[in-house]
Structure 1
């Protein structure tokens, strides 16, 4: 067993606070990682406050993890001591169902083991995430951080990055396509970068005209202010794909009308139920598709890391002292971060 320290919530109403705990001893295929950086995702807040009704306490968030390997199990072949590695949203799956065999473990038919707040498949213990000094993970779910990626800004690629890259790749986005990205937070700004790097013409849909200059800096070719009825009418029937990163309930109907016939509106946020109701005619009359997408498999997550290194893509981050994590949560809720907090784990020892 390894003694670790981290920040955890003890209940849905308690703030995150320091906690000492035990990481398991290495299994034959395990990698022990000393954590250097961990991104802060909005889903961390949902889970810590049990807003999805599935939290298990103590709950230690964190699934955008970058660190160094400090020990390996006897059967490990992919990683060695000293390697710079990452761990994303999953730490295990059944590995034998149809989804796992297709390398899309996020859709494991028996349910993936998430990096935190999920029972370990071997001993049943509650997984504890990356707001901590270390983590032990099966080598299959450990990613290699390529040379050329700055470690801190690489951390959010393991969630915000793969969440936006995976649907663009799955739906074949490329040169000649017109892509609209809805929202420009942690996910949206990465979606803009990826769609542009894949060769698409990219438009940001935003409620704020003040974001136009920033959107173009991120790579957007155009900006549509969604609260401007005239701009939305002018956008009707223009887009092949919409990547919807808006994290709260919103009216999908005006956006669907901006798709070409056969266009695809991709949801990556858990906004259920859809409210206000969807007008079926917006789909049926133009053979449009409303699709969903959840993170990405391990092979595709490695692919997006390599893609980012090749194209010079990184997440825009603000470094965070872990002692300020509760204030950071409030700032995230207020939209006061561009675009992702990343915890410097050196502050855990301070």
Structure 2
């Protein structure tokens, strides 16, 4: 069984550090990938520090589910990919592929889905799957994605999570052209929401508590910016939004944003606050409004998103770092000190 270089955590208090991890030999359905870039997602930090009681972390933990790489080997049953192809891998690396959810191209809701890291490894290579903070990965062909050739690979990596997380609920809502769309928050998810909303032809508004983010929001494609901490400014926009995407994971008053929706308007959560949020029933009843949630997207939809990004030249705004700076990046992530995602240049792992 071959080994790969990686960065892993051995406990919830230990820093990420160099390690050797096992990778399986490709089966007939597998694609072996040399990892070129891996995005840093806030969920990586939560998992490494065992902060999600619903998804306890098994150590050693090798995070990373925003992967872009080059195919180095394919199994005998693989026809879609060949050596040298540039491909991506997102949050999923397996599912049963037979259940109703999989048949509907909703693999993220499969009861037997396998996440890219910290899921039981059905191949028995290790107790759990190991993610993209590593030199290589072996993935079932169904979960490998084609990357458009015109896009910067460092900026493509976060599309495999932040991209599909924001694209999916907007695409599912319907034709956004000419509609008024709000994006709450301007971080790793929010800045992608702005780019997609603009590309869909919506009148795009960023709702933020930070006055200093106005220029950045406008440069990303927003048409206007609302300071959500200003009650008078919020009042002016009551009942005017068709769709609002909430990307904020910190505690906040959801009712203030529901108040902005038109009749039959929708607010979709993609951020994940730790604590339950009180919701006023009257805020939903008066206006027949909808409060929804969305979890990444299926494989077909993720490929659709990548193709859309290729057509519209959309990538994530990233700060490229070597793997040796990943612990520092985690601390900066906690302070929102990045515009807007970190992307690890995995070539740096060769010198580890």
Query: 1:37-67: CA deviations, max 9, x gaps?
Result: 0000000000000100221111100000001
Question: Quick check: 1:157–1:305 contact (8 Å CA) kept in 2?
Answer: yes
Q: Indicate which of 78, 81, 84 corresponds to 1:82.
A: 84
Mapped partners of 1:23, 1:305: distance in 2: 27
Mapped partners of 1:189, 1:242: distance in 2: 14
Tell me whether 261-270 or 121-130 shows the greater mean CA deviation.
121-130
- 1:323 — aligned with what? 324
Query: 1:73-100: CA deviations, max 9, x gaps?
Result: 1111111111000000000011111110
Mapped partners of 1:56, 1:125: distance in 2: 8
Mapped partners of 2:25, 2:134: distance in 1: 16
Q: Indicate which of 36, 59, 82 corresponds to 1:57.
A: 59
Deviation at 1:126, TM superposition (A): 0.6
Question: Quick check: 1:173–1:195 contact (8 Å CA) kept in 2?
Answer: no
Mapped partners of 2:58, 2:291: distance in 1: 32
Q: Secondary structure at the match of 1:146?
A: coil
Q: Indicate which of 168, 171, 178 corresponds to 1:169.
A: 171
1:104-253 residue pairs with structure 2 within 5 A? 104-108=106-110, 110-123=111-124, 125-253=127-255
- Segments of 5+ residues of structure 1 without an aligned counterpart are none
Mapped partners of 1:326, 1:151: distance in 2: 22
TM-score w.r.t. length of structure 2: 0.97
Mapped partners of 1:250, 1:100: distance in 2: 34
Q: Secondary structure at the match of 1:6?
A: strand
Q: Secondary structure at the match of 2:44?
A: helix
TM-score w.r.t. length of structure 1: 0.98
Deviation at 1:261, TM superposition (A): 1.2
Mapped partners of 1:47, 1:238: distance in 2: 38
Mapped partners of 1:272, 1:337: distance in 2: 22
Deviation at 1:173, TM superposition (A): 4.1
- 1:340 — aligned with what? 341
Mapped partners of 1:93, 1:298: distance in 2: 11
How many correspondences in the alignment? 348
- 1:261 — aligned with what? 263
Q: Secondary structure at the match of 1:337?
A: coil
Question: Quick check: 2:248–2:272 contact (8 Å CA) kept in 1?
Answer: no
Q: Secondary structure at the match of 1:349?
A: helix
Please provide the CA RMSD for this pair: 1.0
Deviation at 1:349, TM superposition (A): 1.4
Mapped partners of 1:106, 1:22: distance in 2: 25
1:8-47 residue pairs with structure 2 within 5 A? 8-47=8-47
Tell me whether 170-179 or 64-73 shows the greater mean CA deviation.
170-179
Deviation at 1:321, TM superposition (A): 1.0
- 1:73 — aligned with what? 75
- 2:289 — aligned with what? 288
Mapped partners of 2:253, 2:276: distance in 1: 8
